[in-house]
Homo-oligomer: A and B are copies of this chain.
Amino acid sequence: MLPSPSSKSLESWQTIAKRTQQHRDATLAAVEPPIPDLPELPLDSTPVPKTILTPEELSITESDPVDLLSKLSSGNLSSATVTNAFLRRATLAQKLVNCITELMPQAALERAAYLDAYLKEHGKPIGPLHGLPISIKEMINVKDHTCNAGFISWSDRIATSNAHILDILLAAGCVLYARTTQPQTLMHLETSSNYFGTTHNPFNRNLTSGGSSGGEGALLGMRGSCLGIGTDIGGSIRSPAANNGLWGLRPTSNRLPMQGMTATMLSAEHILAVIGPLSTSLAGVKVFMKTLIDAQPWIREPSLVPLPWKTESQFPIKGGNKTLKIGVLTDDGVVRPHPPVLRALTSLASKLASVPGVEVVPFTPLKHDLAWSIISSLYFADGGAEEKAAIAASGEPWRPLSNFILKENPNVKSLSIAGMWDLTAKRDAYREEYAAHWRESGIDVLFCPVGPGAAPPIDCARYWGYTAQWNLLDYPALIAPVSKVLADDVVDKGYVPRNEQDRYNHELYSPEKYVNAPVSVQVVGRRYEDEKVVEAMEYVQEKLGLPWAKYV
């Protein structure tokens, strides 16, 4: 329940935050049977569920979402059972890693019961995602619920309708049961706000879950969800996917519905945010994309492009093998990735080279530092005025990474219209130059790091280059878990950093600090070749048996 505006104006940001946490806790308390409080929070949270949940709950929540869909649509599992298992595990995840803004047990279980009854009555599922519980990042509007983009001053904003994407997923049979944390301003590659504090990495609580869709990342990393919705304007789907050993896709812009978000800069066109899936399987990513695009969202939302989701192979077959030319970029020339990332990519490249039909070539970066200077200025073409006003309005403190991206970032400038057009022209020239560079390389897809290391320690995610690069170019980019930090990924003590960012990153790392962190790769394709990126990784997974390990 919301206070009236007059009473609200007297409230401190602390009071608002407290009330928001109390609301969250009340929604957790309504989950049955209750999850006990934990006496102590371990470094690695991932073994905890098996000490608390039932074998059936463990089995359900650790299933591939596509296997769940098969059991749900045939009636072998009820949506009520599946939904309650995820509600229970999400409650536990919140207690361990602080990733939930609210659960919706009552509405979710009512919806699940409706779907179970539907299946019984009609003898067929309501749609391709019949009965599947999904989680969503808080900024994606849910009718009659608050949407605050991580700003305390926006605490009284109530969505008057569902986001378009949510309408389609519900029509396809999903059950919405959890909303997840996000950072102040939404412009961090971590998740830290004055509403809820910090979201932690399930594998190592000293590390970040990533961001800005870091509540999704941590929840899925804990297997408190198997399919969630994030958004990405600089890495916000991919950083949480990578940090938590998940699959995640930043699709090309204007393929998935964007109507109904709560955020700053919503009408800025110079750099487009995208929405996309995080999942515990690649099949989960695929079914998400196909279901949404098959619904022809461009009819309601005319900014979208009516490109069907292609199901035919995007690669020629020769001698029974798909032929793929894969580029490998290990280092963007600005900040060198940590040893585990270099080792994982190098090892992957050598394995790939042994797959029949696959050709592996090195790929040279092209001015990735220029790309960052363009995109980080275009993000905040108003000089960050909208974010600064939204923070100032409540008197809440600046979180460290808000400060980093808005105040310490030398590219944040208040532009004139002419200045913005100039910068847009630079962006387009760079895009055309990169298109020519890609064409000359002849590659189909590119394998590269997701960041300059595995999940960094809290408040240290200060280099966006490996993800923001593909936002500037608007290339689709898929995250795949391939390894973890190993004890023998030792520090390169002789390394001489190239610049201040490189030095900062180099000094962050030791295998001890990063222990247990997942290591992922990013698979990038040309603009609108989302299907090609997914298919390439699917083929690689089939041939090499990735990811590195099963979750359990």
- Say whether B382 contacts A303, CB under 8 Å: no
B-chain residues with CB within 8 Å of residue A386 when the two chains form the complex = 418
- Say whether B301 contacts A435, CB under 8 Å: yes
Residue of B nearest to A529 (CB): B306
Interface flag for A270 (CB, 8 Å)? yes
Q: Which of A106-114, A261-269, A347-355, A477-485 contacts B (4 or more CB under 8 A)?
A: A261-269
- Say whether A305 contacts B302, CB under 8 Å: no
Residue of B nearest to A380 (CB): B417
- Say whether A424 contacts B267, CB under 8 Å: yes
Chief secondary structure at chain A's binding surface: loop
With A305-B528, A417-B415, A420-B417 as contacts: A439 and B299 at CB distance below 8 Å: yes
- Say whether B302 contacts A431, CB under 8 Å: yes
With A414-B417, A435-B301 as contacts: A428 and B267 at CB distance below 8 Å: yes
Q: How far is the CA of A268 from the CA of B424 in the complex (A)?
A: 8
Residue of B nearest to A528 (CB): B306
Interface flag for A307 (CB, 8 Å)? yes
B-chain residues with CB within 8 Å of residue A528 when the two chains form the complex = 298, 305-306
Q: How far is the CA of A434 from the CA of B302 in the complex (A)?
A: 9
User: Which listed residue (B267, B305, B415) contacts A422, Cβ 8 A?
Assistant: B267
Q: How far is the CA of A216 from the CA of B385 in the complex (A)?
A: 46
Q: How far is the CA of A431 from the CA of B386 in the complex (A)?
A: 24
Interface flag for A7 (CB, 8 Å)? no
User: Which listed residue (B303, B422, B436) contacts A300, Cβ 8 A?
Assistant: B436
In the complex, what's the smallest C-beta–C-beta distance from A134 to chain B, in angstroms?
Answer: 24
Interface flag for A381 (CB, 8 Å)? yes
Interface flag for A51 (CB, 8 Å)? no
B-chain residues with CB within 8 Å of residue A303 when the two chains form the complex = 428, 431
- Say whether A269 contacts B267, CB under 8 Å: no
With A415-B417, A417-B420, A425-B266 as contacts: A527 and B432 at CB distance below 8 Å: no
Interface flag for A519 (CB, 8 Å)? no
With A307-B307, A432-B259 as contacts: A421 and B300 at CB distance below 8 Å: no
User: Which listed residue (B301, B307, B417) contacts A417, Cβ 8 A?
Assistant: B417
Residue of B nearest to A415 (CB): B417
Q: How far is the CA of A163 from the CA of B436 in the complex (A)?
A: 16
22 A-B residue pairs with CB within 8 Å:
A259-B432, A265-B421, A266-B421, A266-B425, A267-B422, A267-B428, A269-B269, A298-B527, A299-B439, A300-B436, A301-B435, A302-B435, A302-B473, A302-B474, A303-B428, A305-B305, A305-B528, A306-B527, A307-B307, A382-B421, A386-B418, A416-B417
Besides A267-B424, A302-B431, A302-B435, 10 other A-B contacts (C-beta < 8 A): A267-B421, A267-B422, A269-B424, A300-B432, A301-B432, A381-B417, A414-B417, A417-B417, A417-B420, A420-B420
